[in-house]
Amino acid sequence: MAGARSSERVLLTLVVPTRNEASNVPRLVRDIEEALDGISYRVVFVDDSTDETPEVVRSLGESNGRLTLIHREAAEQGGGLSTAVTAGIDVAAETSEYLCVMDADLQHPPERVGEMLRTARSSGADVVVASRYTEGGSYEGLSGPARRAVSSGSKYLAQVVFKEARKTTDPMTGFFLLRSEAISGLQFRPTGFKILVEILVCAPDLKVEEVPFAFQSRGAGVSKASLRQGLEYLAHLASLFWYVPSAGRFWKFAMVGASGVLVNMVTLITLAEYVGADLIIAWMFAVGVSILSNFLLNNAFTWRDVRNSTRIHFLMRGALAYPAAIIGIGANFSVYYPLLTYVSDAFPYYVAFNFLGILAATVVNFALNSRFVFRSSTPKKPGEGAHPEEVAGEIRREVKADWVGLMRASDLDLVASMPRRSPTEADRDIAGLALGTAQPTLVATGPRRPQARTNTRWANSLAVPLLHGSSPVGVVYATRNSREQFTDEDLQWLTSYVSSLGPVFEAFACHNGPLEAPNKLEG
């Protein structure tokens, strides 16, 4: 593997994954030089080839200092093209303001890169997508009607499942530009060849713009598209749906609702047929049990990223689920009954009307659950006069930590803690890691082989940098030794809670030094 020749920061880095593209690379490099004349750029080739592609890149690099080669051995190629892209992004992000991902087969015209860069800088976009499907674009370079049909079908599937994919007309493109800072600290785990979908789903707040482009015919070599890649794409979508909490939330809600129908029917039949309950009473119990089942599953699956700040908060959400469900039932009836009355009550019309009523109830119920039942609770921020020891105490109670410390960024000396003790070397190492990366950090360590029936205790740490402007002034560090590990939700809460604490912390750290705890917090 050849590293970058210079760590000098550039405006733009092109990340170009290659696999057996020896015939196309020389022309691609020439086209890039012409298209980006006057722009500070670098090209990172991430190569998985079995032909002479790496030798061609190295030869070109002898006379062109802008070229960098990362040649991955077979053991490093798991995940295919997408992991090649992420490997290039990891290398280039720290030394480049923008990153552009493009193919090496000449189907992505380099002359569009300058337009994408101008669009990003003028609009403030985090992502600029070169789209084949927007006005002015074309996908004629796709080989044959079958390939075009697969491309369109894959695009629509992603957009149906993930609302984030609807930000662009072409979420399947491999030609896009990113602002490095916008994806800083994000960890992507893509499979297959569609990295843009992963980026959009994992970072749903990104601002997206588009420029049209005509997809060109391949310059030389053969297409890498295959049935295996199609199956990897479906597996990738399934992975995003399952592991990213906010992804496909409506469809998760619908799946839970379908399970609720089963719970309702089983409860109704059991009470009516085996207990001998009155049908109305049995129906009421069945509705109540299915609403409770739906709430518990939605809490654990559909909205698992929305934190319950206390047990009372959880119970209040459960109580709100019932009126939300009743309104949903009303929406169902308001659709079903008029159609039944004024159109037809014959089969199969009433079945279709019932389906429309269920659809209306699902949409209404999802909207109510999103807005009221599982609304994200924003933690109460510490006020301007908050004492750091009070802040440490509040954090300790909220995340159930054994110890919380507020440390200075300059020397990692302690400013305040709850309870009072000195940080260990391990504490300082993890706090230093968070400061070095300028990213919130969660660390959990435990036995390598926890045995069955053993209540394993884990050492857990949360570290969140405190910023004043863009400069780190301190770090909040929480630790506990427990069978229950810190979660991503704990890290998100702590990050939100201390997001405005930087200036207050700096004032205390600079003028007061180490702080004594107020009496009400002693012990």
Tell me: the pLDDT tens digits for 390-413?
Answer: 888 888 888 889 999 999 888 888
276: helix, coil or strand?
Answer: coil
CA distance 468 to 388: 16
Element (H, E) at 428: helix 425-437
Element (H, E) at 101: strand 96-101
Which pTM was predicted?
A: 0.71
CA distance 478 to 422: 13
Phi, psi of 405 (to 5 degrees): -130, 145
**Please, which residues bridge with residue 480 across strands?**
460
Tell me: the pLDDT tens digits for 412-423?
Answer: 888 888 998 888
Task: Please identify every stretch of the chain with a pLDDT value under 70, giving residue numbers as ranges.
Answer: 1-7, 75, 77-80, 141-144, 185, 187, 190-193, 217-229, 309-310, 377-381, 383-385, 445-457, 469-470, 483, 507-523
CATH architecture of 10-243: Alpha-Beta Complex (3.90)
Domain locations along the chain: 10-243, 249-373, 388-521
CA dist list (Å): 97 to 12, 38, 40, 104, 262: 6, 16, 10, 22, 52
144-161 vs 227-243: helix crossing angle, rounded to 10 = 0
Q: What ranges in 36-171 are assigned the alpha helix state H?
A: 53-61, 81-92, 111-123, 144-161
User: How open is the CA angle 114-233-50, to the nearest 5 degrees?
Assistant: 70
What CATH number belongs to 388-521? 3.30.450.40
Tell me: the pLDDT tens digits for 210-247?
Answer: 999 988 765 555 555 556 667 778 888 888 888 888 88
Tokens of 214: 């005509």
Question: What is the pLDDT, as a whole number, of residue 3?
Answer: 47
Element (H, E) at 444: strand 441-445
Beta-carbon neighbour count of residue 21 at 10 Å? 26
Sheet with 67-71: strands ordered across:
67-71, 41-47, 10-18, 96-101, 176-179, 127-131, 208-212
**Please, which residues bridge with residue 45 across strands?**
16, 69
Q: Are strands 67-71 and 10-18 parallel, antiparallel or unpaired?
A: unpaired
